[in-house]
Structure 1
Amino acid sequence: MMAIGGAGLAATLPGEAAEAKAGAGAATVPAKVLHHVFFWLKDAGSTADRDRLIAGLRTLAAIPVIRALHIGVPADTEARDVVDGSYQVSELMFFDTVADQKAYQDHPIHRQFVADCEKLWRKVVVYDTLGV
């Protein structure tokens, strides 16, 4: 099983081991809803604001419909035209269904996170995907 972790969080994708084929390289993830969010801070150089946002994101782990959560910052990988490392923080969540992702959006913990942290960011980009 692949562990997904970041900023002190770790989760395991359910059923992933069954999807992996022996000798096939990387494991595949069962078809799920992925919610990937990128945050650009108003004060991009502020480690205090980055840390406050990360702390806020960690509170989301208590929402029961989230199957896995990864919080990250841009990796120091090779600079290429297709790589956008201009954001300061990202989070990637796995849900079983689109309905679960909607329940997350409406959950009081998520609403509190937005109320507490929205003053920190100047831009947010969300990518929601359904595995095939």
Structure 2
Amino acid sequence: MEKELTHYFAHTVLFWLKDPNNPEVQEKFEREVKKLIASSKYAHFGHVGKPAGTDRVVVDNSYTYSMIVTYESQEDHDAYQVEDVHQHFIAECKDLWERVQIYDVHRI
């Protein structure tokens, strides 16, 4: 039985925080990223987490946080990029990170 696939577009973001072990920095980042996902009109699914610590040569555990958000279309993703809640998240948290890496993927 084949599963029906939804969520046409996936947006994966890896964050490397400047001060990753600071509890105040962690609390602010986690609060703001959860608010972003919960408040977005375009995000269909959201997942935020830290590296699982799986120990395999192909696994990158160097980042501090990962966020995965899915959308029904690339147009929804594009609207999310300029959405007020996304812009607020960037303004509130951009000073917390030293690096951000993004992987955007269309469903096949």
Asked whether the two chains share a fold, i.e. TM above 0.5, the reply is: yes
1:74 alignment counterpart = 51
1:64 alignment counterpart = 41
CA contact (8 A) 2:9 2:72 kept: yes
Match of 1:34 among 2, 5, 10: 10
Q: Secondary structure at the match of 1:122?
A: strand
Alpha carbons of 1:89 and 1:129: their partners in 2 closer, same or farther (altered >3 Å)? same
Paired residues in the alignment total: 107
1:49 alignment counterpart = 25
CA contact (8 A) 1:34 1:130 kept: yes
RMSD in angstroms over aligned alpha carbons? 1.5
Tell whether 2:101 aligns with 1:125.
Answer: yes
CA contact (8 A) 1:50 1:89 kept: no
Task: Return the alpha-carbon distance in structure 2 between the equivalents of residues 89 and 31 of structure 1.
Answer: 22
Alpha carbons of 1:28 and 1:52: their partners in 2 closer, same or farther (altered >3 Å)? farther
Q: Secondary structure at the match of 2:95?
A: helix
Task: Return the alpha-carbon distance in structure 1 between the equivalents of residues 80 and 39 of structure 2.
Answer: 10
- Structure 1 residue ranges without an equivalent (≥5): 1-20
Q: Could you tell me the TM-score, scaled by structure 1's length?
A: 0.75
2:66 alignment counterpart = 90
Q: Deviations over 1:15-49 (max 9, x none)?
A: xxxxxx2xx7xx56336100000000001222321
Q: Which has the larger radius of gyration?
A: 1
Structure 1 residue ranges, 4+ long, deviating more than 6 angstroms after superposition: none
- Structure 2 residue ranges without an equivalent (≥5): none
- Point out which structure has higher relative CO (alpha carbons under 8 A, 6+ apart): 2
The structural deviation recorded for 1:75 is: 0.6
Task: Return the alpha-carbon distance in structure 1 between the equivalents of residues 5 and 25 of structure 2.
Answer: 33
CA contact (8 A) 2:7 2:70 kept: no
Residue identity (%): 32
